[in-house]
A = this chain, B = another copy of it.
């Protein structure tokens, strides 16, 4: 197979790389600023692709990872955050037209799942569930070696599973989603609510007028490691709800591996001890857990890029 080019369009950086078949190390790679809210996004994208274009070699396909919502079947971005220029924008078709090469698009969580499945923690598994716990909760699912995309390309939005119909408000505007219980902002929000209600803690409530951003999930984790009861409880609650969510996802998808990515997952046992306890309590048949691997992602920041590469390879060879 010919060279594959992959681009991960992140919130702050666009990262591009070209790959020879069966080599993990890129031929060329390049990072530039995304500047999402400034005009000229397509020009920046084509430029970074040109920068990694291999000398002389033929390019088989281009894979693109972007935050959603988007339509992987048509290659259209629907409503990317902070980027009015790319609302309902035919990103993959434009890239394909510009370079005369097939281009494929999917969202960053699906492609991180695909990357981990092909090159990372999920290697050798056929049924993979990837969950990133960060500012939001994203997910991607591989079923029998195929990426689950769905009819509208909107499958595997597991962060927006309803965990408790009367639960707290999610960033998406709906109530009781997993993301509203177990994401980084949900952990901080819980702490702030408890501080507001007078719960004693070593953590300080930000002064009036300051943003919630003053307290970070990482600071809550540090306080928890120092023994702060509220901080420990905040992670315990997040882990318990994550266990409830994942129990339902096992009942739905029955994977052989669950891979956790994202910054909040790095809180380690603070999150995962209560998670495992809750999962075991909630899974309705012990067989789901037989041989099930629960682990953390291996590819770090490269997951989206390597997933975009895997997408392009799969689509180009099918």
Instruction: Tell me what chain A mostly uses at the interface: helix, strand, loop, or mixed.
Output: loop
Q: Could you tell me the distance in whole angstroms from the C-beta of A246 to the nearest C-beta in chain B? A: 10
The chain B residue with its CB closest to the CB of A290 is B152
- Which residues of B are found within 8 Å of A194, using beta-carbon distances? none
Q: A143-B143, A160-B284, A163-B162 are in contact. Are A153 and B244 (CB under 8 A)?
A: no
Instruction: Point out the residues of chain B lying under 8 angstroms from A290, CB to CB.
Output: 152
CB-defined contacts of A150 to chain B, threshold 8 Å: 127, 253-255
Q: Is the CB of B69 within 8 A of A154?
A: no
How many copies of the chain does the oligomer comprise? Answer: 2
CA distance A146 to B142 in the complex (A): 13
CB distance from A262 to the nearest CB of B (A): 18
With A146-B144, A152-B287, A253-B150 as contacts: A174 and B282 at CB distance below 8 Å: yes
Question: In the complex, A244→B126 CA distance in Å?
Answer: 30
Contacts A163-B165, A285-B69 given: A252-B152 contact, CB under 8 Å?
A: no
A256 CB contacts on chain B under 8 angstroms: 151
User: A residues touching B (Cβ–Cβ < 8 Å)?
Assistant: 69, 78, 126-127, 143-144, 146, 148-158, 160-165, 170, 172-174, 177, 241, 244, 247-249, 251-256, 282, 284-285, 287-288, 290-292
